[in-house]
Amino acid sequence: MTKKPLILVTNDDGINAPGIRTLISVMNTIGDVVVVAPDSPQSGMGHAITVDATLYVNKVTFDDGPQKEYSCSGTPADCVKLANRELLTRKPDLCVSGINH
C-alpha cells in the first residue's frame, strides 16, 4: 500500500479566503492535506517572518473535508516554518500557496 503525498497548503490572503478554500478541495484529491495559513490577510508579506511578537496557532475547522487546518497569527513564512518544525509529523512532499483572488 502506498502512502499518499503529504501536502502543506498556505497563502497570504488568510485561511478564510475563497482561493485557499478552492485550493484545499483540489489538493484533497491528490493527497493528505494540512493547512497552515494566516488568520488574517498578509498580502505582500510572503517572505517576512515575525521576530517581535508571540505566534499563536489554533486548530480550526471550516468545512467537512479530510484536511487538518491551523490558523496562525503570523505571516505565510511563519506558517510554513511552524508547520515544518512543530505541526507536521514528517516533511511535506509538496507545499502549495494561493489561490489569489
Q: What is the pLDDT of residues 32-74, one digit of tens each?
A: 999 999 999 998 887 899 999 999 999 999 988 999 999 999 9
Q: Tell me, what amino acid is at 1?
A: M
What is the predicted pLDDT for the residue at 1? 61
| More reliable by pLDDT, 94 or 101 | 94
Q: What is the pLDDT of residue 92?
A: 98
- pTM for this prediction: 0.94
Distance CA 5, CA 87 (A): 16
User: Which amino acid appears at position 77 of this protein?
Assistant: A
Q: Please compute, for residue 14, the number of CA atoms within 13 A of its CA located in the half-sphere on the CB side.
A: 7
Parallel/antiparallel/unpaired status of strands 32-38 and 57-60: unpaired
Task: Determine contact, residues 99/23, Cβ cutoff 8 Å.
Answer: yes
User: Which pLDDT score is estimated for 45?
Assistant: 82
